[in-house]
Amino acid sequence: MNRETQQVILQLAQNARPVRPLRRPYVRAAVWVVISMIFVAGMVLIIPADHDLLRQFAERSFVIEQFAALATGIAAGLAAFVTVIPGGDRRWALLPLLPISLWLGSLAPSCFREFTRMGTQVFLVPHSLWCLPSIVLLGTVPALAMVVMLRRGAPLTPHLTAALGGLAAAGIGNIGVRFIHPEDVSVMLMVWHVGGVMLLCAFAGSAGRHFLNWRSIIGASENIAR
């Protein structure tokens, strides 16, 4: 055995504190969803809704859309937690495709109808510019919780993991925004809400290596040992 490597082994073992194995990804995803939903529910209660919530709940399309957004958030969160486990099956990263398809599918028929009726004029329908910042605001705590939890894992695929985490946080944030902001035009929902969530997902993915990298995770473990 190389002398330097032997010294590294001894130093690592002598400084090693007991660690609790991470819980299974589905348990971690469940904990994250509970934290996120408590925050989003709190924000929805604090921020007054400027439309009739009960009427919205009576609409089947709204319920399906919200269910699909929630399922997207949960699936993306679960997939993100699987990607930080060495040896985990990478195919889990495809899981969010199913609820995303449902989400897009729930909006596509009415988008098509609006587009055939109004043409390109549909893009000129007045729209609140606050929806994207609102998704960011309501996704803040879910995103922070996600980063903290992901950094306890291994940064094997930083961009993919961060993109999934971003999709999860933005998806959950969007659920709250849909309760706060009225939006009856499906094309606008598709562009601003679904598009906004995808934009945030891409942004998180591109920034993944900044907060999920071996250097900072090894450095953090050395600081704890010290």
Partner 1 sequence: MDITQPVLPDHRFSELMQSAQAGDTDAYIQLLEKVTPRIRQIVRRHRTFLHPEDIEDLVQDILLSLHAVRATYDPGRPFMPWLLAIARNRLVDGARRYARGAAHEVCVENLAVTFADERANTVMNGLGDLPALEQAIGALPPIQRDAIRMLKLGEMSLKEAADAANTTVGALKVATHRAMASLRKMLVKKQ
Residues at the site binding partner 1, with contacts judged by CB under 8 A: 1-2, 4-14, 16-22, 24, 84-88, 152-154, 156, 214-223, 226
Residue 209 Cβ vs partner 1, minimum distance, rounded to whole Å: 10
Residue 33 near residue 146 (C-beta atoms within 8 A)? no
Identity of the residue, 63 or 224, whose beta carbon is nearer to partner 1 in the bound complex: 224
**Which CB atom, from 2 or from 116, has the smaller least distance to partner 1?**
2
The distance of closest approach from Cβ of residue 4 to partner 1 in the complex, given in angstroms and rounded to an integer, is 5
Q: Which two tokens stand for residue 42?
A: 């709190």
Nearest CB to partner 1, comparing residues 20 and 117:
20
Q: DSSP labels for 65-94?
A: HHHHHHHHHHHHHHHHHHHTSTT--GGGGG
CA distance 178 to 186: 12
Closer to partner 1 by Cβ: residue 97 or 218: 218
Q: What is the DSSP letter of 124?
A: G
Q: Of 13 and 124, which has the nearer Cβ to partner 1?
A: 13
**Beta carbon of residue 201, minimum distance to partner 1 (angstroms, whole number):** 23
Closest distance to partner 1 from the beta carbon of 83 (Å): 11
How many CA atoms within 13 Å lie on the side-chain side of 179? Answer: 21
Nearer to partner 1, 157 or 174 (CB): 157
Question: Closest separation between CB of residue 217 and partner 1, Å?
Answer: 5
The distance of Cα 207 from the centroid of its chain, to the nearest Å, equals 14
Q: How far is the CB of 79 from partner 1 (least distance, A)?
A: 16
* DSSP assignment string, 31-58: HHHHHHHHHHHHHHHHSPPSS-HHHHHH
Half-sphere exposure of 6 (CA within 13 A, CB side): 3
94 burial via Cβ count (<10 Å: 0-12, 13-18, 19+): exposed
- The end-to-end CA distance of the chain, in Å, is 26
